[in-house]
Each structure stands twice: as C-alpha cells, then as structure tokens.
Amino acid sequence: MTDISVTQGGQHASAHREAKPHRWALSLWARTFRRLARRWTVHSHVRKYCRPFTVEGRQNLDGLASPVVIIANHTSHFDTVIVLSLLPTRIYDRTAVVAAADRMYRERVKGMWHSLRYNAFPITRGGGREALAYSQWLLHNGWSLLIFPEGKRSRTGELLPFHGGPAILATQQNVPVLPIYIEGASRILPPGTNQSHAAPVVARVGSLLTFPVGTAIGDAKHEMEEAVRALAGNVPAEHEQTAAS
C-alpha cells in the first residue's frame, strides 16, 4: 500500500488510479450470485489447476467468525482463488478482497467483474489513510478482508517485507488476523504470463493472531510477517490432501 511507479520511455509515471469501490457488490443480489457461482468461479479453478491440492492446518478455520483480516503471501493472481476456496461459507459470504487499482481496475468492465465475482474493491497504492477508509468501514460493519500484505507479487517466491496497512486495520479495528501461506501458485500463473498450467499447491493455514489493545502497528506488522514466514517453513508430518468441494 505504498507508492509505486512505472517506467515509460525513460520517465517514471505515476501508477495511481482513481477507482472507487463498487458498493453494489455488497448487495443481497451480488452476495447471492457469488454464493451460487462459487462452484464455477472458485472451486472449479482450484480443482483444475491445483493438482494435487494439499491443505494443512484446516482445523484453524473451525469456529472462525467475521470480521477477520485474512493475510497471505503473494506470488500469483491465482492466490485469491486459492484462499477463497478455503474459507467456510459463512466467512466467504462476508469477505471482501483488497485489489490494487492500477492492476485490477484499469478497465471499467473488468473491474466491475472482479467486484461481482470476488467482492474485490480497489485500493490506490500510496493512498495512505484515505485508501484504508473503505477497509475500515467494512470491518466495522462485520465484513472480513483478504489482503496480501506484501503489496505486490513476489517474483522469486521469497516473502517480501509487509506493508503497514493490514496491521493498522487489525489493531485499530480490534479484529483478529488469519495467516495463510501458499506454495506452488507461482507455477500455475507466473507473473508476466496469461496462461495457467496445473501444478501441485500446498496451502498452510496458521493459528489466529490477536493483538491486545494498544499494540504498536510496527509490532503487529512484525508478528504478522513472522507468522506467514513460519508457515513457509512448516512441514508437518501429516498432510490433508483435498479436492476443493
């Protein structure tokens, strides 16, 4: 959630995009569409491209309630579908996805489709506290958020430093954080490509993180990053191999 720039003809051009959330994506008809279409927009993609799909720590989803901030590492645009496939229906129905305005909302119609299909909404990278306002409103009104704290996809697979936005939301709105680590998604849809290929994927779901009132943003950000980093090196003795259902 920091400033980014792109190089064009030797000049740096701002990548900021003025895009507003589509609030109709929270309506009853949009929520009903996502629930009915989940089989095709989420689970079918996971079944087709995550082969095999292994989930570790699924018990950490038991008893999960909204609102919660869901964080995951980011190596591919396929990460969103993988995380959404893991969520219990009660959480999925009340989850919104934070998306970079300059990447996912460059075209009006595609942006609207992202909002309808995944309840995504645009965040202007570098927008500061103003960019967090809608996220705060959602959490305050009982919606969960899926956020990729690295702010961009890792090209190497190594975890990038986290930005402070998710920590601000978790501490100021007093909501727990669910850490997830995804391994293998970069082989399905690598950055810079548009063609998906089947590949083995492992999703590791960590224990819920809670922060006492008064926790410093920097401390929360560090704890969140370390939780995801620990999942990256966690190789339990037993796996739960699943097909998305």
- Enumerate the domain spans of the chain: 15-235
pTM for this one? Answer: 0.85
pLDDT surpassing 80 at residue 216: yes
**Tokens, residue 139:** 């959490």
Nearest to 117 by CA among 134, 102, 99: 99
CB 208 within 8 A of CB 177: yes
Nearest to 92 by CA among 132, 34, 19, 16: 34
Q: pLDDT for 56-100, tens place per residue?
A: 999 999 999 999 999 999 988 899 999 999 999 999 999 999 987
Architecture of domain 15-235: 3-Layer(aba) Sandwich (3.40)
Torsion of CA 69, 26, 38, 200, to 10 degrees: -30
**Tokens, residue 63:** 């008893």
**Sign of the four-CA dihedral 161, 167, 168, 169:** positive
- Comparing 38-52, 70-84, 100-114, 167-181, the range with the smallest average pLDDT is 100-114
pLDDT, residue 129, reads: 65
- DSSP β-ladder status, 50-56 and 240-242: antiparallel
Averaged pLDDT for residues 101-105:
73
Averaged pLDDT for residues 135-162:
92
| Average pLDDT in the chain | 85
